[in-house]
């Protein structure tokens, strides 16, 4: 009941306060385990993913620093968020996330691990690629822009325009034991280049000029 109320309330806020354009919502599977991997430039990005996602079994990996936030903490608990210590290899959180995915849940993750302070993509960690491989689930790349200035615009009494696009579900190439690190990096770059391909050029950041991004732009596969 709390989750349904939060979902309705958040959607109402976005409709009233922002102009949100969503493309590819049909690419989010109606059921089955999957990871929604989105870039992260604003605190409202995870809230937006929660708002547009229709599934009741959707949750996210959330940095444990918010456990000390008296407002955010109960909201994360209400939606079943999985706490993770981003300062170390949090084996417990990864196991919990893997089981959640194997049980058929939809998990939102920011591959970059934190909010970008540059206004563009930053180097991603390999956690999403690792979880997708261990759980055997597809990854849906999500690209959002416009959110990085949304709060500032609201303070100036302007309705921000936020654009969100989801790519098609992708089963990543399996990771081999003999070439684990390189395979995880390859799959991570694949996810991030697919995100970049759905963003305007000014947001490409560290992935600008990446051979895989250039390939996707010449023959789009989102």
Of 222 and 76, which is predicted with more confidence?
76
Looking at the predicted structure, is the pLDDT value of residue 1 above 70? no
Q: Is residue 2 part of a domain?
A: no
Q: Is residue 191 part of a domain?
A: yes
CB contact at 8 A, 84 and 128: no
Q: Is residue 10 part of a domain?
A: no
Q: Which residue has the tokens 């992935």?
A: 207
Environment class of residue 47 by beta-carbon count within 10 Å: exposed (0-12), middle (13-18) or buried (19+)? middle
Single pTM value for the model = 0.92
Q: Is residue 1 part of a domain?
A: no
Q: Which domain holds residue 51?
A: 17-217
pLDDT for 220 equals 61
Q: Is residue 4 part of a domain?
A: no
Q: How far is CA 132 from CA 20, 25, 69, 157, in A?
A: 29, 20, 30, 41
pLDDT per residue as tens digits for the range 97-150: 999 999 999 999 999 988 999 999 999 999 999 999 999 999 999 999 999 998
Question: What are the tokens at 117?
Answer: 């302070």
Q: How many domains does the chain contain in total? A: 1
Strand pairing category for 106-109 and 58-63: parallel
**Closest CA relative to residue 191, chosen from 40, 37, 61, 25:** 37
């Amino acid at each position: 009941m709390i989750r349904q109320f939060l979902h309705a309330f958040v959607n109402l806020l976005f409709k009233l306060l922002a102009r949100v354009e969503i493309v590819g919502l049909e690419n989010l599977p109606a059921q089955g385990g999957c990871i929604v991997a989105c870039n992260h430039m604003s605190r409202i990005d995870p809230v937006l993913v929660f708002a547009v996602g229709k599934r009741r079994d959707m949750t996210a990996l959330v940095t444990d620093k918010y456990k000390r936030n008296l407002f955010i903490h109960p909201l994360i608990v209400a939606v079943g968020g999985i706490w993770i210590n981003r300062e170390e290899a949090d084996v417990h959180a990864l196991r919990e996330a893997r089981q959640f995915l194997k049980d058929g849940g939809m998990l939102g993750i920011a591959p970059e691990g934190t909010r970008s302070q540059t206004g563009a993509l930053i180097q991603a960690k390999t956690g999403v690629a690792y979880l997708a491989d261990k759980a055997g689930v597809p990854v849906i790349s999500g690209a959002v822009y416009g959110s990085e200035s949304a709060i500032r615009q609201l303070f100036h009494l302007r309705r921000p325009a936020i654009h969100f696009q989801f790519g098609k579900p992708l089963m990543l190439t399996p990771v081999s034991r003999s070439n684990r690190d390189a395979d995880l990096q390859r799959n991570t770059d694949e996810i991030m280049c697919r995100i970049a391909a759905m963003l305007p050029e000014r947001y490409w950041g560290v992935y600008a000029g990446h051979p895989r991004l250039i390939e996707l732009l010449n023959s789009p596969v989102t």
